[in-house]
Structure 1
Amino acid sequence: MNYAKKTLLYFIGHTSVGIIALLYAVFSSFSGGYREGMISGIIGGFITTGVLGIFFSLRLMKNPKRAAEVEMVKNEERTQFLRMKTSAAIFSVMIYAESAGILVTGLLGFREICLTLATILIIKVILYIGFASYYSKKY
């Protein structure tokens, strides 16, 4: 049941971010364009996923047997191992995809995009090295 309560709190916060963005959109003046589209996307995404998450969390909390089963599966060693392997594989693939994106955008002359992707890649590698050294000392 603990997992369902944590998930419910997370989605309540998620919905709150959407409502705050909605209030910002209502009480501020937009001149249209990019900013308006960005705020409406944030509102729609956060409120929709938040409300759906709250619905499914409440539904899970009403069925204690299913909630206990989900929590057990969530904390199972095999599930955690699969999650770590999946994250590592995604990280490796994204490094190659971002590197290819840097090369392509650099060759096509999109300097800003190229620099943004390069910055993201450098930050990601620095964080990887930092966490790897931290966890190698800890474990």
Structure 2
Amino acid sequence: MNNELVIVATTFDPLEAEYLRNCIEEKCIEVFLADENIIATYGLLANAVGGIKLKVVSDDVAAASAIVEEIRAADKGASEDKNEDTGWGECPKCHGRKIKPYRAAFGWEGVLMFLGLPAGKPQRTLVCSNCANEWTDS
């Protein structure tokens, strides 16, 4: 039996590291978090340290890696929902509902508003995250 610790996953988020640790330990696999405390305390050092490392005994690497990949694939699939309703309506081009507002406050209108002078009603531009179509909200 080899007791060498092997890195299964790395992350820069302490919450994600704890979540992954709990999911792996739920399957009775012992997990160790390396550099968790330094990144939780000094978040700016995360890149220098290399992130929080999830380590398991070399005998459990395959099972732990499968659990991590399953969780990350499920999270990625949930974040790529093309019809996530953001409350801004529907794209006239692709009929997607993942819309975000974009307001450019630069140019003369932005300067006038910065100085406190009336600049007219700013127009809201909406952008579709699926097809990058831009249109003005009426």
TM-score (norm 1): 0.29
TM-score by length of 2: 0.29
Which gives a bigger RCO, structure 1 or 2 (Cα 8 Å, sep 6+)? Answer: 1
Relative to total residues, which structure has the larger helix share, 1 or 2?
1
Structure with the bigger percentage of strand: 2
Larger Cα-atom Rg: 2
